[in-house]
Amino acid sequence: MYFQLQDIEAAKLNIDDPDHLRIHSLETFGTHDGPGIRMVVFAQGCQFRCLYCQNPDTLDVKGGSLVEIEELVKRAVRQKSYFGKTGGVTVSGGEPLLQRNKLLHFFKLLHEQGINTCLDTNGRLNNHQAQELFDNTDLLLLDVKHINDEIHHKLTGLTNKNTLEVAAYRESTGKPMWLRYVLVPGWTDQPEYLEEWGQHFTNYKTVERVEIIPFHQLGSQKWELLNMPYALKDTAAPTPESKAEAFAIFSKYFKNVILK
C-alpha cells in the first residue's frame, strides 16, 4: 500500500467542523463532471488506492483546505446564470462520501436555491448516511473500476462490493445515474471482463450514460513530487484499437456510451 488508509482520520472528517468542507480545489465552468456548465468542488481525502490515480495529492484526509459551506453556496448562486437548464454543482474528489453528512447539508442548501446537484463517487460507502445523500443528489456519477472483485482489490486496494451495492441502491430509487470506467491497458481492458461489466448493468433503467475514460500519464509527475512510487509509470495509453473494442462491447449493452 503506497499510502496509509487513515481510517480514524477519515471517520472524523465526516463529523468534525460541520460548517466546513475539506476540499482540494474548486473549478468554475467545468464541463467534464456532469451535464452542462458546472461548479466542481474537489473534496479532499480518499480511501481507495487506485494504481492509476491522477490526483494522489487528494488522498490525504488531512490535506487540502477548509472552506465554509455557506461560502460555497454563495459562489454557486453567483454562477447560477451560467448553469442554464442542465448545469449546476458537482462534488468530486478525492472521495466525497467521506464527508457525506456535510454534503447532505450542502446539497439541501443548493436545492433551496434551485441548483442541480451531482455527486462523483467510487461508491466506497453504502450506509444510511450515504443513502440519504444519494437521495438528495440529482445525478450520481459512479466510478466502477472493475467488475472482478479480485482484480478490483489489486487495482484499488479495496473490494468492489460496496460500489456494486451503491449502484443497486441507486437503481432501486429510480433516480438517474452515469457510470464511469477508466480503461487501463493490462488492468481494465480485458474483453471478457468488459462483457461481464456490461452484462451486470445492462438491465438498469437508471443508467443514462456510460463514460469510457482512457488512461493517461498526465498525473505521473504528481507521484514524483510526493515521493510516492508509481506502479504504472511504464504503462502506455490505450491504443485506438483497444478503445474501439471497449466502446463496441459497451455499446452492445447501453444506448449512450461516450468515449472521453
Give pLDDT, residue 44.
Answer: 97
Give pLDDT, residue 218.
Answer: 84
Flag whether the pTM goes above 0.75.
yes
**Mean of the per-residue pLDDT values of the chain:** 95
Closest CA to 238 of 19, 44, 52: 52
Give pLDDT, residue 254.
Answer: 98
User: What SS3 string covers the chain?
Assistant: CCCCCCHHHHHHHCCCCCCEEEEEEEEEEECCCCCCCEEEEEECCCCCCCCCCCCHHHCCCCCCEEEEHHHHHHHHHHHHHHHCCCCEEEEECCCHHHHHHHHHHHHHHHHHCCCEEEEEECCCCCCHHHHHHHHCCCEEEEECCCCCHHHHHHHHCCCCHHHHHHHHHHHHHCCCEEEEEEECCCCCCCHHHHHHHHHHHCCCCCEEEEEEEECCCCCHHHHHHCCCCCCCCCCCCCCHHHHHHHHHHHHCCCCCEEEC
Give pLDDT, residue 2.
Answer: 60
| CA of residue 22 relative to chain centroid, distance | 16
Give pLDDT, residue 5.
Answer: 65
pLDDT less than 70: residues of the chain? 1-3, 5
Quick: pLDDT tens for 71-82.
999 999 999 999
Task: State the chain's maximal CA–CA distance in angstroms.
Answer: 49
Quick: pLDDT tens for 180-217.
999 999 999 999 999 999 999 999 999 999 999 999 99
Burial of 171 (0-12, 13-18, 19+ CB in 10 A): middle
